[in-house]
Amino acid sequence: PSELPLDYVERVTGLKLDAAVARLERRGLAVAPILCSDTTVALGRKIYGKPEDAADAKRMLAELSGNEHRVLTAVALQVGNKRLTALSESRVKFAPMTEAQIDAYVASGEPMGKAGAYGIQGPVAQYVANLNGSYTGIMGLPLYETAQLLRAAGVIAV
């Protein structure tokens, strides 16, 4: 409960990568690069994960409405014994949303399964008043940071 959003997203990403590496070993598969990421939305120190249900999605969106929040996406790459990590931090400001607007968006089903109860690439984009950072990071995989990791590990050359 007291974990900071940055620590949380990095920890969860590391745990995902640990599980993927263990699965690769259990299955006896050839060593290959493994990439994992996780995204969280934070308003101050409060972490917004995936909504449990429509009511939870409405609560999250109402709290984010009219406010600037952070979107943190951690990326971790394992190549053999080498592990590299990166973090994308973006800031998104939502315009104020009415209850009817939030209800309509939640009724579309799009908020479910998404950190902070929204997907930046969907209809909620009409309420994004300002975005500072990585659009692809907000979507869930920051392409710039991911490419940097892949280059550093020698997975891609260019």
Per the residue annotation, which of 7, 18, 38, 103 is the catalytic one?
38
Tell me how far CA of residue 81 lies from CA of 9, 64, 152, in angstroms: 22, 40, 14
Q: Which residue has the tokens 């995902």?
A: 16
AA letter at 94:
F
Tell me how far CA of residue 88 lies from CA of 50, 64, 92, in angstroms: 19, 20, 13
What's the rounded Cα separation, in Å, for the pair 72 and 127?
19
Positive/negative CA dihedral, 40, 10, 139, 109: negative
38: annotated active-site residue: yes
What's the rounded Cα separation, in Å, for the pair 85 and 36?
10
Q: Which residues are catalytic?
A: 38
